[in-house]
Structure 1
Amino acid sequence: MTPRIVYLATADARGHLMRAQLLVHALRQAGAQVDVITTSDAGQRFLAGFGIEASILSHHYAMQFDTRQNMLRGASNRNVLHYMVHPARMLRDLLRLRRTLRGKDILVNDSFHPAALFMGILPVARRKVVHVYGGSLREAVLGNFDGTKRRLFSHLFRHVVGWQIDAARARLEHDFSYAISDHAKGRDCSLPTPVQVAGPPPADGLNSAAIYLNPHFSDTNLAHALCEGIADAGLAAYCVGEGYAGNDGWVGVDPNWASRAAHAEVIVSAPGMAALSIAVVYGRPIILVLTEQPEQASNAKRATALGIAHQTVTWRGEAHDFRCQVRQAASTLRRMVPAPTAVSSGRLQAQARVDAWTVRLLALCGVQT
């Protein structure tokens, strides 16, 4: 029996798409048939750079951010509400997903697309929906209205969304610090965030600092101050970010950025699950660029609690201040010399993470490996 999977990865940030391309390649190599869906033209192009052809569910659902990756909560909530109540939006997507699921074993919802959340409570579809999410993201979604004056609505929202999540067939929660467990076989499963297996060191030698900023970053003042701070610390920089493509040597998309990061003296990124996972697996220190994004703020706090080698910097609208923060952070971290075997052992850990996800998803399709 050939496992048949639909993988829906939102394009709000690239961590969901990176996870999707890693797992889709692994699942296909294991013999599964996987159809991939995303939520924007940019997300579709990003996946194409990794050899993944994806269709677009619709362009209507998206979180809203400013040019420094600060979440615009009011605008995001209005966008999601409009998406859910407009008859030509979520209803249309539900009908399309229902058609797409015919003859398929599971629908992987990465991460919390409203249409797939709603399908998770429908009588037939709920047996096929598998939610994939970071633990910090689930709490951020459930607590979206906490602390507001609308306490009754906040309570109702938490209850309804929690019910939608829990009613589905399975929930795979991931985190940068989780270990692979032999007991991860139930409907509720904890897995380490999948990580790309690193290739050899880059031939160009520009590998002292590997910088990645997701597409929500497009403020050029922030980018210039960041690069200047890295240079002040005596480090060369390799910079990737779609919001800065073509700007002072920045690359829009690099499928091999994870390999560069694995060999870097210092990684620089917002505290998403993917970047922190690369830092943990390959034993690299990381500079975390903090913004107003609830789940990433939670990740940064956990990095501190777990003793991960990192420094945090925060853009406050003043370039010189940010440049000084980055210089100090980079100077501190570059004195931390990774173990000589960090990359080779990291490759084994990365492959084990991907293998664990592959086995779990195939098991949900009824395939024992």
Structure 2
Amino acid sequence: MPPRIVYLATADARGHLMRAQLLTHSLRAAGASVQVLTTSDEGARFLAGFGIEAPVLSRHYAVQFDREQNMLRRETDRNVAHYVFRPERMLRDILRLRAWFRDADLVVNDSFHPALLFMGWMPVWRRKVVHVYGASLRHALQTNFSGRMPAWMANIFGRIVAWQIDRSRARIAHDFAYGEPQPDRRGGHRLATPVAVVGADRDSHDDLAPQAAVYLNPHFKEAALADGLERGLADAHMQAHLVGEGYAQRAGWHAQDEHWIERAARSAFIVSAPGMAALSVAAVYRKPILLLLTDQPEQAINAQRAAQMGLHHRIVVWQGRTEDFARTVTTAAHELIALANDGSGPQTAQKGREAAMARLQHWTVLLHGLAAAPPVR
């Protein structure tokens, strides 16, 4: 019987869903049976675009954001508290997940869904749970209440969360700049964030002029921000391929593009918030990246790491003024164009393709091996 994996991908960020679909296709090709679950109807539709059918576990749990992708901390705390303590929410999901656990060899939690955080330290279920998370996201979660409550209370919260996470069968922390896999012999693993692999046809987009490959998470909905971004790129004489579910009704934008990676790999530069997935694409395909920084703790950490690791990037911040934002985008775009190599040539894309395949293989081997191993008691 093939290894059986249940993969719960939270829909708060599309990076979680992209990782889920990449790994699902790769694991299935390696002979595993994979069932994906997610947490919103929009997330299910996103996965369907990649050929993944994903039932929605719960529509009640979600990190809360405003229209500019700033995290709303109090609203998120309230949402999580309602989810955890109202019996028709998390308890109901745990009862549903029991059926999935029964038939699974491995259950992946990407990233930090409360129901699987709870099940991941319970003796009955912990032997099957693997937590997958960006290294910066774990830090942000454990320090969630730092500065918002007395230090001793915030520290206790962080220690409890860390204990919950570390009780699971395995943990996979990922980062855009990690190198070779690093296991710690206590169930912890460090892997480079997986990214989509460009097609083998080197000439498929070589007739296109270099563009800015833009991807914004669906939390970006503010029209004035999009105005400033479009104007800033246009003033830099840079054409753009624009993708963002929050701007799906806006002229020139696409809600989703399953082949965005092809554009990104051959772009002049990438434009995105500093999520781990976008930074990984920039690192693997050796592309400069324009980072649209918002108030989201783990992304602030990611932006700092981009500077530490020498990734060619510029940071812009939306502060509510379209003209000022457009000017900063134009300036940053000119600087990134000057930094860029010839991204339209096939050589850089081919090297990136090989690196992306290696990253994906590391994940596939690890998860397949965990699922196929004898049950942990």
Q: TM-score range by the shorter chain?
A: over 0.9
Matched residue, 2:360: 354
2: CA distance between counterparts of 1:224 and 1:58? Answer: 34
CA RMSD of aligned residues (A): 1.5
Matched residue, 1:121: 121
Cα offsets for 1:258-295 (capped at 9, x unmatched):
11101000100000011100000001000000000000
CA apart distance, 1:186? 5.7
Instruction: State the AA in 1 paired with 2:363.
Output: W
Consecutive unaligned residues in structure 2, runs of 5 or more: none
Q: Determine what percentage of the aligned residue pairs are the same residue.
A: 55
CA apart distance, 1:185? 7.0
CA apart distance, 1:161? 1.1
Q: 1:315 to 1:251 in 2, by over 3 A?
A: same
CA apart distance, 1:167? 0.3
Aligned ranges 1:34-73 → 2 under 5 Å: 34-73=34-73
Aligned ranges 1:64-83 → 2 under 5 Å: 64-83=64-83
Instruction: Report if aligned partners of 1:185, 1:360 keep a CA contact under 8 Å in 2.
Output: no
CA apart distance, 1:151? 3.1
Instruction: Report if aligned partners of 1:207, 1:238 keep a CA contact under 8 Å in 2.
Output: no
Secondary structure, counterpart of 1:63 in structure 2: coil
Matched residue, 1:304: 307
Secondary structure, counterpart of 1:36 in structure 2: strand
Which of 239, 243, 246 pairs up with 1:240?
Answer: 243
Pair 1:329 & 2:332 matched = yes
Aligned ranges 1:190-209 → 2 under 5 Å: 190-199=190-199, 200=202, 201-202=204-205, 205=208, 207-209=210-212
Instruction: Report if aligned partners of 2:210, 2:267 keep a CA contact under 8 Å in 1.
Output: yes
Matched residue, 1:251: 254
Aligned ranges 1:93-132 → 2 under 5 Å: 93-132=93-132
Instruction: Report if aligned partners of 1:206, 1:237 keep a CA contact under 8 Å in 2.
Output: no
Which of 225, 228, 238 pairs up with 2:231?
Answer: 228
CA apart distance, 1:234? 1.0
Pair 1:270 & 2:277 matched = no
1: CA distance between counterparts of 2:220 and 2:368? Answer: 36
CA apart distance, 1:183? 5.3
2: CA distance between counterparts of 1:255 and 1:57? Answer: 24
1: CA distance between counterparts of 2:220 and 2:279? Answer: 18
2: CA distance between counterparts of 1:10 and 1:151? Answer: 29
Cα offsets for 1:240-264 (capped at 9, x unmatched):
0000003021000111111110100
Q: 1:155 to 1:179 in 2, by over 3 A?
A: same
CA apart distance, 1:48? 0.1
Cα offsets for 1:332-365 (capped at 9, x unmatched):
0111232652111100000000000000001111
Instruction: State the AA in 2 paired with 1:295.
Output: E
Matched residue, 1:171: 171
2: CA distance between counterparts of 1:9 and 1:249? Answer: 29
2: CA distance between counterparts of 1:319 and 1:28? Answer: 46
Matched residue, 1:365: 371
Instruction: State the AA in 2 paired with 1:114.
Output: P
Secondary structure, counterpart of 1:102 in structure 2: helix
Matched residue, 1:317: 320
Secondary structure, counterpart of 2:280 in structure 1: helix
Q: 1:362 to 1:186 in 2, by over 3 A?
A: farther
Instruction: State the AA in 1 paired with 2:107.
Output: L
Q: 1:271 to 1:52 in 2, by over 3 A?
A: same
Instruction: Report if aligned partners of 2:182, 2:191 keep a CA contact under 8 Å in 1.
Output: no
Instruction: State the AA in 2 paired with 1:120.
Output: G
Instruction: State the AA in 2 paired with 1:315.
Output: W
Cα offsets for 1:307-344 (capped at 9, x unmatched):
10000000011001100110000000111232652111
Consecutive unaligned residues in structure 1, runs of 5 or more: none
Instruction: State the AA in 1 paired with 2:370.
Output: L
Aligned ranges 1:9-24 → 2 under 5 Å: 9-24=9-24
Secondary structure, counterpart of 1:351 in structure 2: helix
CA apart distance, 1:148? 1.7
Aligned residue pairs total 368
Secondary structure, counterpart of 2:253 in structure 1: coil
Matched residue, 2:32: 32
Q: 1:318 to 1:283 in 2, by over 3 A?
A: same
Instruction: Report if aligned partners of 1:3, 1:33 keep a CA contact under 8 Å in 2.
Output: yes
Tell me whether 331-340 or 8-17 shows the greater mean CA deviation: 331-340
